Chains A and B, each alone.
Chain A
Amino acid sequence: MFTDHWSLITDFLQLLVAGLATGAIYALAAIGFTLLWQTSQTINFAQGEFVMLPAFFVLAAMNVGLPLPAAIVAGIAASVLVLGVLFKQLVVDPMLRHGVLPLVISTIALGLLLKEGVKEFYGAEAQSFPPLGADLNVSIGGASISVQSLVVIAAAVVAVAALQLFLAHTRTGRSMQATAQNPAVARILGIPVERMILYTFLINAALTALASILVTPIYLAKFTNGEWLGLYAFIAAIVGGFNQVRGAIVGGLLLGIVDNFAAAYLSAAYRSALPLVILVVVILFRPQGLLGRLEERSV
């Protein structure tokens, strides 16, 4: 199969870059997922559909004649409005007093609603989606690496770095962290907790919109995309550590790399089983995740 050691290395490099690119997309969705959990105990079972939908907003904006950059801005704005503001106010807020399970059910139903909505009102066929970079490969030391992957990695790194800077170095960001750690104390300290929670929802919507725009050129826009994207976002969040942004990044990258290497070197039929096995092993033997802290179990 391999002619010499050098092709072994270039193959490895190609898989690594492709894995990092898909992993970065999983990480974006997983970060939003953990942020929502931290600040409002929302387990969003519709997170996959949140990554599926924004691409259709962009496509719809292009259908009315906007050029790609403007359509992307419009798509992100629509996502922040629908998946951020409306999601919080119409779905989450009325449910919080009922506890975790009814909210989980409600987000499962929301996922179904978004999926069926796109299928009925936009179309069931997969739509092609314009790539952000040139659709070609560059050769680095003999390894052929797609520009797409590099664009995805760069965009994700910029987004995560901006998020970390915002959370750690601005007043609002620190208030959000305080809200996540202890809402009661945050409120006593005069932090507008409600508004901070709203910001979390907006950030989640923006992150999933970005993930959507990055992932859709690779996998086409299809209403069923949310099914596996959501699963991978959950797995990334849990494997990395449910209560840590860092954990979601590590979990996402790990999953992307494992997935790509498993597809190349292990059985293709059981490729999708490996992330699930990792999930079960992590939950059973290290439920706080690879980087997570132990949460005390409430009585």
Chain B
Amino acid sequence: MTASALRIAACAVAAVVLIAAPFGLKPYGIYVLSLWAVTVIAAIGLNLTLGYAGQVSLAQAAFVGIGAYIAALLTTNGWPFTAAYVLAFAACFAVGWLLGYPALRVQHHYLAFVTLAFNTLVFLMFRNEEWLTGGIYGINRVPRPELFGVSTASPRAFYYFCLVHLVLVAAAAWWLIRSPWGRAFVAVRENPLRAAALGVDTRRYTLMAFALGAGLGGVSGALYAALLQYVDPTPFSLTLSLNLLLMVVVGGSGYFLGPFLGGAVAVLLPEWLRFAQNYYLFGYALVVMVLMVFCPTGLIGLGARLVKLLPKQTAAAGKPAP
């Protein structure tokens, strides 16, 4: 069996498990799995910005928050979910585009701090602008959407709703990465000067990488609001941005499947390791540090390395997709 066949088989098994899982799970398990799908969408967005275009962003939680509040405000005021959803994407896309401008001037750690400051400012706004966001009390009774006359109010129906979105977002990202745009992102990441010399409009692609990543954050937020049916400022603090960053890097930054794995480690694993209780985060931090020392390309990179250790003919195809 070659490595690519192995990968297709693994994806097929994962797909079957994801479709069948709700039938063997209690509502809480279905909720956790839905949360995983929603989180992975945000992480896919961050992976576009960070992994492919190489722009460090610590603001993804702010976009998830903006998306969640837009969806919550509009749907509780009687708007259809689809409109809220599209607006959440569009608004985050626009704000992400604007946040990209600092990235044209400053790089690396400076950019990390600008985005960090942005995240905290947005968080303060969620908390303090009570007339709009309800302050610390948040917004209650966010309805779940109805699709072609079918309600998604039950946990199982909403899980499939999230899963379909995850598949759509993943397919779009897959297509994007292989399009000339995706190649331009990687070119901007690897060597911006050379990319510019070859005629890539680095300015436009940097902004686009930010905007698309932010837009997916908004999509994730809109789903999050409908999943919890309640929105308050707490989840959208800097902590979530740091966690999303860890997810992308632990999974494998710049690898298509990285966010799926990273999301699983951050969202699903703690539920299975309930016996570890509060020590889970302690252990998680330790594992991340060890992983960074031995394999900064994350779990995907680790997997690729293990595949290389297999007999020779499998090693040839063992290089993961960029």
A residues apposed to B, CB below 8 Å: 43, 91, 94-95, 98-106, 108-110, 112-113, 116-117, 119-120, 227, 231, 234-235, 238, 269-270, 272-273, 276-277, 279-280, 283-284, 287, 297, 299
Q: How far is the CA of A104 from the CA of B127 in the complex (A)?
A: 29
Contacts of B106 in A (CB 8 A): 283-284, 287
Q: Which of A91, A108, A119 has the most CB of B within 10 A?
A: A108
**20 A–B contacts, CB within 8 A, in A order:** A99-B296, A101-B56, A101-B249, A101-B296, A103-B292, A104-B109, A105-B288, A106-B293, A109-B285, A109-B289, A112-B285, A116-B281, A117-B282, A269-B128, A276-B121, A277-B117, A280-B114, A280-B117, A284-B105, A287-B105
In the complex, the answer to whether A283 meets B285 with C-beta atoms within 8 Å is: no
In the complex, the answer to whether A95 meets B102 with C-beta atoms within 8 Å is: no
In the complex, the answer to whether B282 meets A120 with C-beta atoms within 8 Å is: yes
In the complex, the answer to whether B293 meets A272 with C-beta atoms within 8 Å is: no
Contacts of A277 in B (CB 8 A): 117, 121
Judge if B118 is at the interface, Cβ distance under 8 Å.
yes
Q: How far is the CA of A269 from the CA of B136 in the complex (A)?
A: 12
Contacts of B127 in A (CB 8 A): 269
Known: A106-B289, A119-B278. A276 touches B109 (CB 8 A): no
Q: How far is the CA of A109 from the CA of B116 in the complex (A)?
A: 16
> Which residues of chain B in 107-137 are interfacial with respect to chain A, using CB atoms and an 8 Å cutoff?
107-110, 112-114, 116-118, 120-121, 124, 127-128
> Which residues of chain B in 280-322 are interfacial with respect to chain A, using CB atoms and an 8 Å cutoff?
281-282, 284-286, 288-289, 292-293, 296
Judge if B246 is at the interface, Cβ distance under 8 Å.
yes
Judge if B162 is at the interface, Cβ distance under 8 Å.
no
In the complex, the answer to whether A112 meets B120 with C-beta atoms within 8 Å is: no
Contacts of A110 in B (CB 8 A): 285, 289
Q: How far is the CA of A100 from the CA of B56 in the complex (A)?
A: 11
In the complex, the answer to whether A43 meets B109 with C-beta atoms within 8 Å is: yes
In the complex, the answer to whether A280 meets B118 with C-beta atoms within 8 Å is: yes
Known: A101-B56, A299-B193. A109 touches B288 (CB 8 A): yes
Main secondary structure of the interface of A (DSSP, over half): helix
In the complex, the answer to whether B289 meets A283 with C-beta atoms within 8 Å is: no
In the complex, the answer to whether B117 meets A279 with C-beta atoms within 8 Å is: yes
Contacts of A231 in B (CB 8 A): 116, 120
Contacts of A95 in B (CB 8 A): 292-293, 296
Q: Which 7 A-B pairs have the closest CB atoms?
A: A113-B285, A102-B296, A109-B288, A112-B285, A276-B117, A116-B282, A94-B293
Partner of A284, one of B102, B128, B193, B292: B102
Contacts of A120 in B (CB 8 A): 278-279, 282
Residue of B nearest to A94 (CB): B293
Contacts of A117 in B (CB 8 A): 282
> What is the count of residue pairs linking A and B with beta-carbon distances less than 8 angstroms?
106
Judge if B195 is at the interface, Cβ distance under 8 Å.
no
Q: How far is the CA of A276 from the CA of B110 in the complex (A)?
A: 13
In the complex, the answer to whether B278 meets A116 with C-beta atoms within 8 Å is: yes
Q: How far is the CA of A234 from the CA of B58 in the complex (A)?
A: 14
Q: How far is the CA of A164 from the CA of B101 in the complex (A)?
A: 38
In the complex, the answer to whether B105 meets A108 with C-beta atoms within 8 Å is: no
Contacts of B73 in A (CB 8 A): none
Q: How far is the CA of A109 from the CA of B124 in the complex (A)?
A: 25
Judge if B242 is at the interface, Cβ distance under 8 Å.
yes
Contacts of A270 in B (CB 8 A): 124, 128
Partner of A283, one of B114, B242, B279: B114
Partner of A102, one of B116, B117, B292: B292
Q: How far is the CA of A91 from the CA of B242 in the complex (A)?
A: 19
Contacts of B88 in A (CB 8 A): none
Q: How far is the CA of A231 from the CA of B117 in the complex (A)?
A: 9
Please give the distance in Å from B276's CB to the nearest CB on chain A.
11
Contacts of B249 in A (CB 8 A): 101-102, 105
Q: How far is the CA of A36 from the CA of B82 in the complex (A)?
A: 49
In the complex, the answer to whether B107 meets A297 with C-beta atoms within 8 Å is: yes
Residue of A nearest to B237 (CB): A227
Q: How far is the CA of A43 from the CA of B111 in the complex (A)?
A: 13
Contacts of A43 in B (CB 8 A): 109, 112
Residue of B nearest to A284 (CB): B102
Judge if B177 is at the interface, Cβ distance under 8 Å.
no
Residue of A nearest to B286 (CB): A113
Partner of A100, one of B108, B120, B238: B108
Q: Mark B193-222, 1 if CB is under 8 A from A, else 0.
A: 100000000000000000000000000000
Contacts of A287 in B (CB 8 A): 105-106, 110
Contacts of B128 in A (CB 8 A): 269-270
Residue of B nearest to A110 (CB): B289
In the complex, the answer to whether B246 meets A108 with C-beta atoms within 8 Å is: yes
Judge if B44 is at the interface, Cβ distance under 8 Å.
no
Please give the distance in Å from A223's CB to the nearest CB on chain B.
12
In the complex, the answer to whether B117 meets A113 with C-beta atoms within 8 Å is: no
In the complex, the answer to whether B246 meets A109 with C-beta atoms within 8 Å is: yes
